[in-house]
Chains A and B, each alone.
Chain A
Amino acid sequence: MRTVAEPIVGSEVTVKPATDGITINGIPADLDHARKADVRVDLATDRQRAFITEHVLGVLGLHGIEAAAVTGRVSEWSFDRPEHRFCYAAGLPPSSVVGHPAGLPNPDLSTALADADIVGTADETRTTVSEPVTVTTEQGSITVEPREYGEGIRFDVTYEDAEITAEIDPKAANDPGLIEDITSATTPYLSPDTTTAVTHSLADLLSDIAVIGGFDDLRVTVDLDDSYHTLTIGLPRAAHERGVIDRRE
């Protein structure tokens, strides 16, 4: 699996080499541990929780990192952030919050990953769906369709009046210009315009569908509205429930 050769540091997290999948604060980044999933996605176990994980996982996916041990490194409270208030009330440390304070897909981490030595070879097992799956909620509609082995994920995204199309392989290095655009785009809640919001959504979609959801080759057509993680985490969950996961080598 592709991982970093040495520990690297982003603005909220440290990323260390690993051999089997991605964890944040020791919690596996998978559907079994995904919680909340509306305005943000948390990973949780019984007494551990990592907040706003999409701002880290999306960046790892953009750089094709398949295995990593991510730990939060924030030590000071920022009580204007609801996630910090959550932690303070729940007896959790501020390092539980790994999302960027300005709502960005961690640009410092992305820069560090671009400069880092990436080792290992991509896992040859790649996952798609055996048939199209559509999920529709109050937050919009998403459809995924099968794609050939190794083609990666094609995103056709609409957010209000803005549209974007992108090709991203979560198991390979991707276009640096695209990565720059995505990691400098603020989350929709804080975005100045819908173009910024739809650009940001690519990081969220990659995090939810590829990194947490486990898909590598898909065509994704999605019409997003507010709090869209309900939809974007809901899609891989629905695919698993319907038994249409297709793993190939």
Chain B
Amino acid sequence: MSLTLPPVDELGDTARDTAGTASDQPVNLVVEPSVAVVNATVKDRTYHGADAAAAGCLAAATTVAAGSQNARLQYSDPTAEATGPWLVVAPLAGHLSTVATGSGHATVSVGVSDENVHTRLGDVRDAVDAVLTAAQPSHDVYPVAEDDAGVFTNGMTTFDFNGATETALGVDITFDVSITPATTTDRVEATFEDIDAVTAVDYEPTDDVSVAEPTEECRAQVEDAVCRVLGDAQYEWLPGPGTFSSLANETRFAFGMATTGTPYDETTFERDVEVLTAIVETLGGIR
């Protein structure tokens, strides 16, 4: 198979055309993240730019849908209630996925009572620093501070600073929280419990961890399809809630060869199309 990466500026129109011509096919194919405009360029048969991986996912999904009797491309707004199995094309670096992490919000209230304004400001600043430090991922063994690829942190409860609001007694610091099946209110509160100035921790999950539960037969056949092309089927979690999480059907998988933040070349594209086609044909045969 020899494929050429399509021009970036044609990706959206081609995807819309493809989506409109295959509405009766059994397997729903959708791209995550769904992008209408792609910030990427083509050079040396490779997508470059911040959205190179997203562009690759869209190109691969569109190519597979256009060439398959089983794939129904859902672009750009997927119809979540559509019947049939779902295959979400996401930048998963060649992994399968049936799990997406969830999200929540946490507000950490810091209060100090000293009425001396200068001392009070210093205490508040120290307390805020302590809260922000406590919010950083930490681990006894794993180098999570340099874990840009999420090797470890993708499975940890993590806190992303969202903002701070002054209150009568100090500051409310808010975080976006990435949650796992192990995240609990007690564990979130425990993150900040050693800081004396913390007066309250308010945690609220907004999107639960999403776990698909395909049948054993379906899972085995999809893994076999991936193995036939890649030699092995490996799993990783989708980072954060998104399209995958919004789908109700238990027969849903995610897969993609792209890696966020890296270029997407034609070799990756060809491999993506090959694996995705194998999965689509498998899911189409299971229905």
* Complex Cα spacing A112 to B143, Å: 30
Interface string of B148-187 (1 = CB under 8 A from A): 0001111110000000000000000000000011100000
**CB within 8 Å of A: which of B222-275?**
223-224, 232, 234-237
**CB within 8 Å of B: which of A55-95?**
77-82, 84-86, 88-91
Decide if A103 is an interface residue (CB 8 Å cutoff).
Answer: yes
The residue in A44, A81, A90, A190 that gathers the most chain B C-beta atoms within 10 A of its C-beta is A90
- Check if B235 sits within 8 Å of A46, measured CB to CB: no
Instruction: Kindly provide the distance from the CB of A79 to the nearest chain B CB, expressed in whole angstroms.
Output: 3
Chain B residue contacts of A103, Cβ below 8 A: 141
In the complex formed, the residue of A with least CB distance to B180 is A79
- Check if A81 sits within 8 Å of B235, measured CB to CB: no
Chain B residue contacts of A190, Cβ below 8 A: 141-143
- Check if A79 sits within 8 Å of B181, measured CB to CB: yes
Decide if B277 is an interface residue (CB 8 Å cutoff).
Answer: no
Instruction: Kindly provide the distance from the CB of B181 to the nearest chain A CB, expressed in whole angstroms.
Output: 7
- Check if B235 sits within 8 Å of A80, measured CB to CB: no
Number of residues of chain A lying within 8 A (CB) of chain B: 22
Chain A residue contacts of B216, Cβ below 8 A: 47, 91
The residue in B96, B142, B143 that gathers the most chain A C-beta atoms within 10 A of its C-beta is B142
- Check if B235 sits within 8 Å of A90, measured CB to CB: yes
Residue among A44, A84, A102 making CB contact with B155, cutoff 8 Å: A84
Chain A residue contacts of B154, Cβ below 8 A: 82, 85
Decide if B120 is an interface residue (CB 8 Å cutoff).
Answer: no
17 A–B contacts, CB within 8 A, in A order? A36-B232, A44-B232, A47-B216, A77-B181, A77-B182, A78-B155, A81-B152, A82-B154, A82-B155, A84-B155, A85-B99, A85-B155, A85-B235, A91-B219, A102-B141, A190-B141, A190-B142
Chain B residues near A (Cβ < 8 Å): 96-99, 139, 141-144, 151-156, 180-182, 211, 216, 219-220, 223-224, 232, 234-237
